[in-house]
Amino acid sequence: MPGTVQSIERAAAVLRLLAGESGHLTLGQIARSLDLAKPTAHGILATLRYVGFVEQDRASGHYRLGSGLLQLGHGRLDVNDLRSHSINWADPLAARSGEAVRVGTILDGQVLVVHHVFRPDDTFQTLDVGTLLPLHATALGKVLLAYRGVPAEAELERFTRRTIRTTQALETELQRVRDTGWSLEAEEMTPGTAAIAAPIRGYGGLVVGAVGLSGLVERVCDSHYRPHQHLVALVREAARAISRDLGAARR
């Protein structure tokens, strides 16, 4: 078979072998069954472990299928799981920044708000969990687009005079997001408001969502639409904490 990658074939064989066994297998058993040298089998298993497709029992050292595979079967990360992992870090972000916090993920070409913490000033606010927002005109959306690996849609709806309207401008913006690891939206969706967001990474660094704050533009940015650096730091810190939580939960 031309064009196949041998190590991937072998990895698949290891997974099939483990799937066929109700119990657990040792490194020796796996190497023997597939007629591989032990170091080769060990390398494959170490890689599969790293990506979460295989787990190793801490006590016995036996190998079994990992929860990362189950997640694959499930498709995307469950949005309610994402909220559950975010809640402990979104609250402190709102408390420290004094702004409203949202967590979003991609759904059908839009941002789905999966968690929302009110701005902590006890004014009347309504929960907008379940709301859909445009990708190109929100900080959460820019993060989700930037790490998506597919080009942005050509159709860019205009909300304000500052909304990004060309795919070229959007691509430049997304490259900036990838370079810095955070995104900004300043009066691009609603005049008078701005937002900062950063990526939430799941297992293996895959971006599964975004967390960000939003508020009045004069509180979030300086007079040149540059975001206050301490707010950027708080957002990135929260994003890293949620990512750690997600990784730890699935290991």
Partner 1 sequence: MTERYVVAIDQGTTSTRCIVFDRRGRLVSLAQHEHKQYYPKPGWVEHDAAEIWRNVERLAPEALRNAGITEDQVAAVGIANQRETTLLWERDTGVPIGHAIVWQDTRTDDLVRDLQGAEGAKTVEHDSGLPIATYFSGPRVRWLLDHRPELRERAERGEILFGTMETWLIWKLTGGLHVTDVTNASRTMLLDVHTLDWSPAALGFFGIPRAMLPEVRPSVGVFGTAVAGFPGVRIGAALGDQQAALFGQTCFAPGEAKCTYGTGSFLLLNTGKELVRSTHGLLSTVAYQIAGGPAAYALEGSIAITGSLVQWFRDQLELIATAPEIETLARTVADNGGCYIVPAFSGLYAPYWRSEARGVIVGLTSYITKGHLARAVLEATAWQTREVVDAMNADSGLDLTTLRVDGGMTADNLLMQSIADVLDVPVVRPLAAETVSLGAAYAAGLAVGYWPDLEGLRQNWHRAAQWLPEMDPAVRDTEYRNWQRAVERTFDWTRPS
Q: Which of 120, 134, 181, 247 binds partner 1 (CB under 8 A)?
A: 120
55 backbone dihedrals φ, ψ, rounded to 5°: -125, 150
Confirm or reject binding of residue 122 to partner 1 (CB under 8 A).
Answer: yes
- Kindly tell me which residue out of 80, 166, 172, 175 binds partner 1, with binding defined by CB under 8 A: 80
Q: How would you class 213 by CB atoms within 10 Å of its CB: exposed for 0-12, middle for 13-18, buried for 19 or more?
A: buried
16 binding partner 1? (CB under 8 A):
no
Q: Which of the stretches 30-38, 81-89, 135-143, 229-237 binds partner 1 when contact is defined by CB under 8 A? A: 81-89
| Nearest CA-CA partner of 236 in 111, 93, 32 | 93
Q: 206 with 52: CB under 8 angstroms? A: no
β-partners of residue 184 are 196
Burial of 181 (0-12, 13-18, 19+ CB in 10 A): middle
**Contact criterion met (CB below 8 Å) for 56 and 49:** yes
Please pick, from the candidates 40, 88, 168, 172, the single residue that binds partner 1 as defined by CB under 8 A: 88
Instruction: Give SS3 for 207.
Output: strand
Among 12, 19, 87, 206, binds partner 1 (CB under 8 A): 87
Q: What are phi and psi of 33, to 5 degrees?
A: -60, -35
184 three-class SS: strand
**8 Å CB contact between 154 and 170:** no
Least distance (Å) from partner 1 to the CB of residue 74? 8
User: Whose Cβ is closer to partner 1: residue 11's or residue 117's?
Assistant: 117
Window 90-109: residues binding partner 1 (CB under 8 A)? 91-92, 94-96
> Cβ 91 to partner 1, closest distance in Å?
5
> Is position 70 an interface residue for partner 1 (rule: CB under 8 A)?
yes
- Choice between 11 and 106, CB closer to partner 1: 106
- Which residues of the shown chain bind partner 1 in the complex (CB under 8 A)? 70, 74, 78-81, 83-84, 87-88, 91-92, 94-96, 116-118, 120-122, 125-127, 129-130
